[in-house]
A and B are shown apart, each in its own frame.
Chain A
Amino acid sequence: MSLPYSSPYIHNASSVRRTMLQVQIAAFPALLAHIYFFGFGITIQWALAVVAWLVVETLLLKLRHRPVKPFISDMSGLITVTGIVFCIPPESPWWVVVSAVIFALVFGKHLYGGLGYNPFNPAMLGYAFVLISFPAEVTQWTLPAGISGHHLSLWESAQIIFTGQFPPGLVHLTGATPLNELQTALVNGASAAETWAGSRFNDPNLINGWFWVNVAFLIGGIWMLYSRAIRWQYPVGFLSALALMAALFHAIDPDTYAPVSFHLFSGGVMLAAFFIITDPVSSSTTPMGRLFYAIGIGVLVYVIRNWGSFPDGIAFAVLLMNLFVPLLDQYTQPRVMGHKGR
């Protein structure tokens, strides 16, 4: 109960916790869509991740002799684990998500000094870690109920996650994602258009789960823009760069390169645009820097998708652009009022 030493003596009542909670709330539509299309697996993964977060972060704060309560209740860890949960397949084994969370918090956050000091996006670091370590488990995605013909119950999901045993008769529940299919097709020299036309995901009677989850992310993202939890430069820069790249190559060779709409609404594009690359700690701080940062990620994602060996490149694109942040900060400083030039 004391006045701050120096003015100002009033505040707009924002806080780190509030900002983080806004992000968490914005993720709810996507969570619901996820449950609808892919079953309850994600809720189990999320619960696992939250438990892992609480245990790991408490332990690390204690080890670093930092107060536990304010740094847990700032909810920044929650955002990290939510990002990871949305990236990994909902029916992957339990140790995948746990190891991703542990890696993200230990190596992505606390070893660098905790909240505010991590140069890399912790969620993407954790995801990249499991993607490289356990590629088989992480790329086998649960197929939308419309395709597999079975909506997994909570109990069935739990069985798969904790025992690895599929319920009898349900072996073909998981498979490659549309992006995987396209990647395979590209590697084999097949035409993107043909592959997509002949894909089982392109059935007009079916609803593309990934598409709708992306739409849900978009809705949450727009709300975050409105509530100023995130800045417009990230989604605008990222999505427009990705769209431009896709449009350009699709125009050059429609046979090989997938159309813009496919790129924008597949994989984790919207998740990345609004929830991943918007992490302010590991991104550039100047308005121009943010735009360049987001554009860089967009270009890299397209490059990795089409010419890399991984089906989706968001994690690597984000981590690569994190490296450029100090440089961007240095060279994109705005003009100060009353000064000419920088």
Chain B
Amino acid sequence: MIEALLVFLVLALFFGMLLGYAKIKFKVEGNPVADQIDSILPQTQCGQCGFPGCRPYAEALAEGNSEVNLCVPGGHEVMIQISEITHREPKEMDASNPPPEEPMVAVIDEDICIGCVHCIKACPVDAIVGTTKMMHTVIEKECTGCELCVPVCPVDCIDMVPLMKTPQTWHWPEPNANSLENRS
């Protein structure tokens, strides 16, 4: 009887110490949730979530002050990832505002542009160059396709166009034809 008690006492002590050690050894620093969310957000800085940029949205989510389904460019996949990180119920995306099917970039019609700098001010990533009364242009490589510049243009000279498909940018499609498994 006494041996059994002793054994359990020793075991309890041992595991207790092990747990204590693990807590010190594998300590997690900072608020990684916001960082984690920020790292999966598409960084278009489009503000469609209602926050001024991706980072604020991530922080709001980390504090539990926002919904998981607000990132429009990220779409369903990002929503699922966010709900996994925040341990919240996934919520359907707003169907009326689907993410673009292919990557888009803004293009300024340089014949119409009047050089008002409104779009330059609106661009969250400084991807538009130009100066007052000079024609503006979009650096295609840096444009995130956030569309923030489109409504501010007074002469409607900014269009969102899909990136040109070339053999170099082409991707092999995923196989699905003829598969019996994918039929339902």
* Nearest neighbor of B177 in chain A, beta-carbon distance: A5
Total number of B residues with any Cβ neighbor in A under 8 Å: 7
Q: Tell me if A65 is interfacial: C-beta within 8 Å of chain B.
A: yes
Residues of B near A66 (CB, < 8 A) are 180, 183-184
- What residues on A are CB-neighbors of B172 within 8 Å? 6
Count CB-based A-B contacts (< 8 Å). Answer: 13
Cβ-defined contact, A71 with B175, below 8 A = no
Asked if B167 lies at the interface with its beta carbon under 8 angstroms from chain A, I say: no
User: Which residues does chain B contribute within 8 Å of A65, judged by CB atoms?
Assistant: 184
B142-184 residues at the A interface, CB under 8 angstroms = 172-173, 175, 177, 180, 183-184
- Cβ A67 vs Cβ B183 within 8 A: yes
A6 close to B183 (CB less than 8 A)? no
Of residues 61 to 84 in A, which have CB atoms within 8 Å of B's CB atoms? 65-67, 70-71
Tell me which residues across on chain A come within 8 A of B175, comparing CB atoms. Answer: 5-6
- 8 Å CB interface, B7-30 against A: none
For B183, list chain A residues within 8 Å (CB). Answer: 66-67
Q: Using Cβ atoms and an 8 Å threshold, which residues of chain A touch B180?
A: 66-67, 70-71
B170 → A minimal CB distance (Å): 13
Q: Is A5's CB under 8 angstroms from B173's CB?
A: yes
Q: Which residue of B lies closest to A69 (CB)?
A: B180
Most chain A beta-carbon contacts within 10 A, residue among B173, B180, B184: B180
Question: How far, in angstroms, from A71 to B180 measured CA to CA in the complex?
Answer: 9
Residue of B nearest to A117 (CB): B181
Closest-by-CB residue of A relative to B176 is A5
Residues of B close to A71: CB separation below 8 A:
180
Q: Please give, as numbers and ranges, the residues of chain B lying within 8 Å of A67 by CB-CB distance.
A: 180, 183
Complex: how many Å from CA A5 to CA B177?
Answer: 9
Question: CA of A206 to CA of B153 in the docked complex: distance in angstroms?
Answer: 100
Enumerate chain A residues within 8 angstroms of B173, measured Cβ to Cβ. 5
Instruction: Give B107 Cβ to nearest chain A Cβ, in Å.
Output: 33
Scoring A residues 1 to 43 as 1 if CB is less than 8 Å from chain B, else 0, what string do you get?
Answer: 0000110000000000000000000000000000000000000
The docked-state distance in angstroms from the alpha carbon of A67 to that of B180 is 8
Kindly list chain A residues whose C-beta atoms are within 8 Å of the C-beta of B184.
Answer: 65-66
Complex Cα distance, B178 from A70, in Å, reads 12
A225-B177 Cα distance, complex, nearest whole Å: 33
Bound: A107/B184 CA distance, A: 21
Contacts of A70 in B (CB 8 A): 180
Q: How far is the CB of A183 from chain B (nearest CB, A)?
A: 34
A70–B179 Cα gap in the complex (Å)?
A: 11
CB proximity of B175 to chain A, nearest CB, Å: 6
User: How long is the Cα–Cα vector from A30 to B184 in the complex, in angstroms?
Assistant: 39
Q: How far is the CA of A106 from the CA of B168 in the complex (A)?
A: 49
State the CA gap A65–B184 with chains docked (Å). Answer: 6
Q: Which residues of B contact A5 (CB under 8 A)?
A: 173, 175, 177
Cα–Cα distance between A3 and B184 once the two chains are bound (Å): 24
State how many angstroms separate the Cβ of B89 from the closest Cβ of chain A. Answer: 25
In the complex, A66→B175 CA distance in Å? 19
**Considering only CB atoms, which chain B residue lies closest to A74 in the complex?**
B180
CA gap between A6 and B173 in the complex, in Å? 10
Q: How far is the CB of B172 from chain A (nearest CB, A)?
A: 7
Closest to A116 in B: B181
Instruction: Give the CA-CA distance A71 to B175 in the complex, in Å.
Output: 20
Q: What are the residues of chain A within 8 A of B177 when measuring CB–CB? A: 5
CA distance in complex: A95, B22 (Å): 54
A6: B residues at CB distance < 8 A:
172, 175
Give CA–CA (A142, B84) in the complex, Å: 57
A6 to B175, CA, bound (A): 9
B173: nearest chain-A partner, CB-CB:
A5
Closest chain-A Cβ to B183's Cβ sits at a distance in Å of: 7
A5 to B172, CA, bound (A): 10
- A–B complex contacts, Cβ < 8 Å, 11 sampled: A5-B175, A5-B177, A6-B172, A6-B175, A65-B184, A66-B180, A66-B183, A66-B184, A67-B180, A70-B180, A71-B180
Give me the 3 closest cross-chain CB pairs, A-B, nearest first.
A65-B184, A70-B180, A67-B180
Task: State the A residues within 8 Å of B (CB).
Answer: 5-6, 65-67, 70-71
11 further interface pairs, Cβ-Cβ under 8 Å (given A67-B180, A71-B180): A5-B173, A5-B175, A5-B177, A6-B172, A6-B175, A65-B184, A66-B180, A66-B183, A66-B184, A67-B183, A70-B180
